[in-house]
Amino acid sequence: MDNGTLYVREKGSLRRVSDIVLSPPKPVSSSSCRRTNPFVPRKEHFIFTYNAEGSLRYSTKSLFDLTLLFVADNIHHVDSLVGFPEQIGDRLFAAAEENRVFSNTAVSPKALQLFSDAYGQMVLGSLCLRNRFPLLHERMDEIKTFHSLKSLDLFGCRLGDDHEIFQHLTSTSLANLIHLFIGGNSLSDVGLQRLTAPIRMMKKGLDHLQLLDVSYNPISERAIRYLTCLPKLENLDISGTSLKLGAGLKTTIWNLLGLICSEKPLDIFDHTRCKTEGWAEQVVNHWETNTSQMPKQKKIEASRTSALRFFGRQKFVREVLNTTPLVSESEEELNRERLHFYRAAANNLIIEKRVPYKMDHQVKMKKRQRQTESCDSSLQPPTKRSPSSALTAEDIELLNSY
């Protein structure tokens, strides 16, 4: 509707309501939610209905609704939402979502940061990105704003051994993370070492992690030692890896992690239970829809540009979205190769009880040697202990690479 006087038809005749000037409609392709004059009344300020006689009736929205609409439209200017009731936050988030604020890459990270800081888990408590690696790479900045996730599924997201999200996973932002699925990502021993390096060196990060899925990754028994830094780990899935089930593997995992092998597949590792839950659930779904219809990239290599022009962008996007990690095909093979380990409720034992009975003599000898060494060291002048004595040479080399 063009700017001008507002008319209402009643009983077949037109009459002028008032000299209300409507602001021009906002184009969908606009890159910003900012308006030149946000105080000008708009069509959204009125509710138009028809009565039984077919006459058009109008009524103005409440001041609360008008204020909510104005704040949602200018959410990128808000400093903080901390202290506002949850009911207000829910309606404000819905209004911002309706105005497509979270589709704007220039505004959505800051807007989601505001809601996450104020309302935490209610914004998003569980995020499932299984086999949706295009969405992960397109919306990395927005995904990092979800600080209160308790479950994160990154299965089949092609992370590799050196992904930028590793640093985010071990930061204080995800201190409440309980379930983490990183299977099917071509993650080797080096990648798992890099992922757990901040935890082993600085003793912080993933403090509450109880479930870890590293299945279908080329990891060996050496990678299990990097998981000893997770104090509350209770469930581990290493199916489809280089590890083979046997007495040696069971003993190693018991001694290092205190976990026992499950004879049957654990339901907790069933990915069908992982869902995206929270206010931002529809926002994530809308991102995925937009990702499948992504425009052509502006700057890419010449060879890649030629390939895309030859084969077509739609074919490229379709192949990317339909790509799945390499897993076993038959269900019988899956059930046979399931390597699920768990901590039994009645087996919250001390570390000494994890050692097999036949090794008790060796343990006692080591304790005696330590006691004699401590006595000898007490007779010598005290020296400063190197802070890196608990770190291996590989850890020190990895630390220096940062």
**108, part of any domain:** yes
Tally of domains in the chain:
2
Residue 317 lies in a domain: no
Tokens 């060879």 belong to residue: 303
Q: Check residue 175 and give its pLDDT.
A: 87
Read off the tokens for 82: 């901390």
Kindly state whether residue 260 falls inside one of the protein's structural domains. Answer: yes
- Whether residues 113 and 189 fall in one domain: no
Q: Distance between CA 101 and CA 276 in Å, rounded?
A: 20
What is the pLDDT, as a whole number, of residue 370? 60
Q: What is the pLDDT of residue 356?
A: 43
Domain extent, residue 217, equals 124-296+338-345
Give a yes or no: residue 93 inside a domain: yes
Q: How do beta strands 151-153 and 179-181 pair?
A: parallel
Distances (CA, A) of 264 to 49, 216, 224, 345: 61, 18, 21, 17
Q: Give the residue from 81, 100, 120 where a domain finishes.
A: 120
Domain annotation covers residue 68 = yes
The predicted structure's pLDDT at residue 123: 95
Residue 357 DSSP symbol: G
| CATH number assigned to the domain comprising residue 254 | 3.80.10.10
Residue 266 CB contacts under 8 Å (≥ 6 apart), including other chains: 235, 237, 340, 342
Specify whether 284 is located in the same domain as 141: yes
Query: Within a domain: residue 102?
Result: yes
Residue 150's φ and ψ, nearest 5 degrees, are -105, -20
Specify whether 56 is located in the same domain as 200.
no
Residue 274, pLDDT score: 80
Q: Which residue has the tokens 């408590």?
A: 125
Pairing of strands 126-128, 211-213: unpaired
Give the integer Cα–Cα distance in Å for 400 and 131: 33
Is there a domain that residue 18 lies in?
Answer: no
The per-residue pLDDT for 328 is 41
Q: Which two tokens stand for residue 31?
A: 């890159």
Domain boundary among 98, 120, 142: 120
Tell whether 36 is covered by a domain: no
Across the 402 residues of the chain, what is the mean pLDDT of every consecutive 10-residue run? 57 60 45 46 60 69 83 89 92 92 91 94 94 91 92 93 91 90 94 91 88 94 93 93 91 94 90 87 89 50 51 50 45 63 70 42 53 53 45 65 60
- Same domain, yes or no: 164 and 49: no
Residue 235: what pLDDT?
Answer: 95
Same domain, 103 and 229: no
Let me know whether 205 and 83 are in one domain. no
End-to-end Cα separation, the chain, in angstroms: 57
What phi, psi does 300 have (nearest 5°)?
A: -140, 170
CA-closest candidate to residue 239, choices 277, 201, 265, 260: 265
